[in-house]
Amino acid sequence: MPQTLKRLIDLIAFLPGIGEKTATKLALFLLRANGAYVKNFAECLSHLHSDLHECARCHAVTDRTDELCAICRDPRRQTSVLCVVEEYIDLLAIERLSLHSGGYHVLGGVISPVNGILADDLHIKSLFTRIENEPIDEIILATNANLEGEATALYITERLPRAHEVKITRLSRGLPNAGYIEYADDVTLVNAFRERR
């Protein structure tokens, strides 16, 4: 096999959920594909890290040209309700269904001592700073409903700054697939959000 093709297959096979067979198929697809498409694809990949960064307020992914993401900049969003999620993908799942009209805070993971991830490795300090400084009435702790997600939610609840009364809610149980928001079907996610308590 030509070196370049082998390299491409290895790079594609590194992606999550993709085995060598699928990687080979995709690499050959790219080889046969329209030149402009492949060039566009490569260019997008090469700018991925340089063109994007984290929102300075909520840590969602945003264009590097903007300090704040589109949600943080939107004056129509309710600033009193803050939804705390583990990852940006959870924000996307919630936004796709228009379940939440307030702001977000992306933690960047969960507390997981087994994997060497401690509270200080996550965006928890900046969450507390926001709670102290923004007019927030409710915090929806939308971490996944598994052991680590629950432990992270508990950690935040116990250390929350009590400058003013903040209502804390949790998505209702019943999320399938070990409680992952990103894998929940639409109806389940809508109900988990509606029946939060």
Closer CB to Zn ion, residue 136 or residue 175? 136
Instruction: Give which of 93, 132, 90, 131 is closest to 107, Cα–Cα.
Output: 90
Give min distance, CB of 34 to Zn ion, in A: 36
Task: State the minimum distance, in angstroms, from the CB of residue 53 to Zn ion.
Answer: 11
The residue (of 10 and 134) whose beta carbon lies closer to Zn ion is 134
Give how far Cα 189 sits from Cα of 21, 69, 114, 138, 141, Å. 34, 24, 28, 19, 14
Q: Give the interface with Zn ion as residue ranges (CB under 5 A).
A: 55, 57-58, 60, 69, 72
Nearest to 111 by CA among 154, 68, 165: 154
Query: Nearest distance from residue 72's CB to Zn ion, in Å?
Result: 3
Distance (Å, whole) CA 81 – CA 69: 17
Least distance (Å) from Zn ion to the CB of residue 185? 27
Q: Which residues pair with 81 in a beta bridge?
A: 138
**Closest CB to Zn ion among 143 and 145?**
143
The one-letter amino acid code at 51 reads D
Q: Is 169 exposed, middle or buried (0-12, 13-18, 19+ CB in 10 A)?
A: middle
72 or 184: CB nearest Zn ion: 72
Looking at the Cβ atoms of 60 and 189, the one nearer to Zn ion is 60
Min CB(86)–Zn ion separation in Å: 16
